[in-house]
Homo-oligomer: A and B are copies of this chain.
Amino acid sequence: MVFILYPKVTQDKIDKFVRGWEEKGFSTILSTGTEHTAVCLIGNTAQVDLDHVVQTTDIVAFGKRITEQYKAVNRTVQEQGTSIRVGDVTIGEGFFTVISGPCSVESEEQVLEIANGVKMNGAKVFRGGAFKPRTSPYAFQGKQKEGLEMLSFAKKETGLPVVSEIMNQTQLDLFDDIDIIQIGARNMQNFDLLKAVGALKKPVLLKRGLANTIEELLMSAEYIFSAGNSQIILCERGIRTFETMTRNTLDLSAVVLLKQKSHLPVIADPSHAAGIRSLVSPLSKAIMAVGSDGIMIETHNNPAKALCDGAQSLDLEQFGKLMDELKERASLEKKVI
């Protein structure tokens, strides 16, 4: 950890600052420039709250953590990628796992038709929204508890593991039969929810928030991991920028960096990122090409009638065509699809 002090700080104050650290067991090295002084801290700084120090110490102009603060999810502590098993399915390096299903579950007939359709085309996990976060209180809020039961039904009928989004920790009991619990973008920094799913023994799919950095996503994963649950799948799903032609801006560099920085599996969601059906297939191929461990795609048996997000959903024929393209490319990327 390096601190840079303001110019013209008195020697007294510097001494006091340095002594404070040494009393806590750190070594320090001072470097005095023409205008500024730098203090380098040596020792285990993982528990040091950098922001706190910078903000509470009047003489410190700038601080920089040399070692990343995410420890448990850091690739440096585990060189090999984490593999997550859900039933017969593996999510992790060497695989390209396709998760698909409707934005919102609507009926048993619907989920069954879509689940069968995506399974037949090679999807390994079925997704469906039961609790839907919606900007407007007047918009459809999802089938909720009943929706989760439809997912259970689809799971029983097709054998596909299922993933669905949780909205808050009081719903945990309802998710007993759900195989992967999704934390949506708006909840990426709902820290109490992160702690709650950290206490579970089942995989968590953690989506990047609309305005969250790659580092913040890793710190949120660290919340779950440090609470005891190492089965975390990171998901890039587009960030909010000034561009208005797409709903969000898919950040594929993030997929590469997340894979470099962390041992956790990383997937991406082109449907929510783009919000436009015609972008889903090209972006999906790009997601595979960039080294992602999988993808989450919205499909629907009848997009024009979907209760939400129809515009970004593929129909089953389009999904089949995309899967053919992904299968053609998988071996080049050394991925089992």
How far apart are A300's CB and chain B's nearest CB, in angstroms? 9
Kindly state whether residue A9 has any CB partner on chain B within 8 Å: no
Q: Provide 14 A-B residue pairs closer than 8 Å at the C-beta atoms, listed in order of the A residue.
A: A29-B31, A32-B42, A33-B67, A35-B76, A38-B40, A38-B66, A46-B138, A49-B138, A137-B226, A213-B244, A215-B245, A246-B253, A257-B279, A286-B290
Q: Which of A105-113, A153-161, A306-314 contacts B (4 or more CB under 8 A)?
A: A306-314
Q: Which of A79-87, A117-125, A183-191, A199-207 contacts B (4 or more CB under 8 A)?
A: A183-191
Kindly state whether residue A14 has any CB partner on chain B within 8 Å: no
Q: How far is the CA of A274 from the CA of B140 in the complex (A)?
A: 34
Q: Once the chains bind, are B214 and A211 in contact (CB under 8 Å)?
A: no
Q: In chain A between 50 and 100, which residues have their CB closer than 8 angstroms to a CB of chain B?
A: 51-52, 54-58, 62, 64, 66-67, 69, 76
- With A55-B312, A137-B227 already in contact, the answer to whether A170 and B170 are too (CB < 8 A) is yes
How far apart are A271's CB and chain B's nearest CB, in angstroms? 11
Q: How far is the CA of A139 from the CA of B36 in the complex (A)?
A: 22
Q: How far is the CA of A216 from the CA of B139 in the complex (A)?
A: 13
Q: Once the chains bind, are B34 and A67 in contact (CB under 8 Å)?
A: yes
Kindly state whether residue A243 has any CB partner on chain B within 8 Å: yes
Kindly state whether residue A328 has any CB partner on chain B within 8 Å: yes
How far apart are A34's CB and chain B's nearest CB, in angstroms? 7
Q: Given the complex, which residues of B lie within 8 Å of A211, measured CB to CB?
A: 209-211, 240, 242
Q: In chain A between 210 and 260, which residues have their CB closer than 8 angstroms to a CB of chain B?
A: 210-211, 213-216, 219, 222-223, 226-227, 239-246, 249-254, 256-257, 260
Q: Once the chains bind, are A282 and B274 in contact (CB under 8 Å)?
A: no
Main secondary structure of the interface of A (DSSP, over half): mixed
How far apart are A72's CB and chain B's nearest CB, in angstroms? 9
Interface magnitude class on chain A: 35 or more
- With A189-B133, A222-B136 already in contact, the answer to whether A43 and B34 are too (CB < 8 A) is yes
Q: A35, A58, A285: which has the most chain B beta carbons within 10 Å? A: A285
Q: Once the chains bind, are A252 and B54 in contact (CB under 8 Å)?
A: no
How far apart are A299's CB and chain B's nearest CB, in angstroms? 14
Q: Once the chains bind, are A242 and B256 in contact (CB under 8 Å)?
A: no
Q: How far is the CA of A307 from the CA of B141 in the complex (A)?
A: 39
Kindly state whether residue A18 has any CB partner on chain B within 8 Å: no
Q: Once the chains bind, are B239 and A257 in contact (CB under 8 Å)?
A: no
Q: In chain A between 19 and 34, which residues have their CB closer than 8 angstroms to a CB of chain B?
A: 29-34
Q: How far is the CA of A122 from the CA of B93 in the complex (A)?
A: 31
Q: Once the chains bind, are B223 and A243 in contact (CB under 8 Å)?
A: no
Q: How far is the CA of A192 from the CA of B245 in the complex (A)?
A: 27
Residue of B nearest to A70 (CB): B136
Q: Given the complex, which residues of B lie within 8 Å of A223, measured CB to CB?
A: 137
Kindly state whether residue A10 has any CB partner on chain B within 8 Å: no
